[in-house]
């Protein structure tokens, strides 16, 4: 076990648990956590691997994109993970897999949900941690994309994205950013997406008319 993984683990969980009184619960969580380092531009698992199923995923550091991949090799971006983000992987469809792509170098934790359930039964503090923090954080994170898609106007989606993900607008690759903003612009991932350009030049006429 690399020392850096221990540091990332403690940075995430010590603010949520008491180092002295919850020591046994912290040890349980640590023993049942799998740690992964993903280099920028790499994916957590291979394209057909189902290793994320029934796991709770926590981002220890960095920036990742979570996506679903179907049997036709089509990918749908559904989740942006930053430090402290939580995703509960309950995809049980044989024609879909969930995976992570590292937008920046990242550290992620995977916790088997059945083992976490066992820990919650043994340690009430873990049950409280799951229900009052991890579960609520997961709901909030995954709902961000749904809320964005409900907005009809491009300007509103961009404004809300900036509020939901402070500082990420300029860190996201253009193709990923456009997928979350639901824009169909003629840009490549190497181009910089600027607000002035979006509203004055790059948005098709039908989108401009909506605003």
The 10s digit of each residue's pLDDT in 118-139 is 999 999 999 999 999 999 999 9
- Going by pLDDT thresholds of 50, 70 and 90, the confidence category of residue 194 is very low
Q: Report d(CA 118, CA 155) in Å as an integer.
A: 46
Per-residue pLDDT tens over the stretch 12-66: 999 999 999 999 999 999 999 999 999 999 999 887 777 788 899 999 999 999 9
What is the reported pTM? 0.82
Arithmetic mean of pLDDT over the chain: 83
- Look at residues 12, 67, 1 and name the one whose alpha carbon lies nearest to residue 34: 1
Query: Which of 104, 108, 68 has the alpha carbon at shortest distance from 86?
Result: 108
Higher per-residue confidence, 149 vs 195: 149
- Report which DSSP code applies to 114: H
The pLDDT value recorded for residue 93 is 64
Phi, psi of 77 (to 5 degrees): -80, 125
106: nearest Cα among 207, 2, 8: 8
Q: In whole angstroms, what is the distance from residue 7 CA to residue 46 CA? A: 27
Distance CA 186, CA 83 (A): 31
In this structure, of 83-87, 126-130, 167-171, 183-187, the range with the lowest mean pLDDT score is 183-187
Phi and psi based region of residue 54 (left: phi greater than 0; alpha: psi -120 to 50; beta: remaining)? left
Domains of the chain: 3-150 (2.60.120.10), 154-210 (no CATH)
**Residue 195, pLDDT above cutoff 70:** no
> What pLDDT shows up at residue 207?
37
């Amino acid at each position: 076990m690399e020392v850096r993984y221990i540091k990332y683990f403690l940075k995430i969980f010590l603010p949520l648990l008491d180092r002295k009184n919850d020591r046994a619960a912290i040890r349980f969580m640590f023993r049942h956590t799998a740690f992964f380092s993903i280099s920028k531009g790499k994916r957590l698992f291979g394209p057909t691997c189902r290793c994320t199923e029934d796991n709770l995923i926590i981002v220890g550091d960095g920036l990742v994109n979570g996506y679903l991949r179907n049997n036709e090799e089509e990918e749908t971006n559904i989740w942006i993970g930053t430090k402290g983000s939580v995703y509960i992987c309950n995809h049980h469809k044989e024609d879909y897999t969930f995976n992570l792509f590292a937008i920046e170098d990242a550290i992620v934790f995977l916790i088997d949900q059945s083992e976490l359930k066992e820990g919650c039964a043994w340690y009430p503090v873990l049950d409280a941690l799951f229900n009052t923090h991890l579960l609520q954080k997961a709901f909030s994170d995954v709902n961000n994309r749904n809320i964005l898609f409900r907005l009809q106007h491009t300007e509103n989606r961009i404004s809300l994205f900036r509020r939901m993900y402070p500082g990420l607008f300029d860190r996201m690759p253009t193709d990923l950013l456009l997928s979350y903003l639901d824009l169909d612009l003629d840009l490549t991932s190497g181009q910089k997406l600027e607000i002035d350009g979006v509203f004055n030049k790059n948005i098709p006429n039908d989108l401009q008319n909506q605003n």
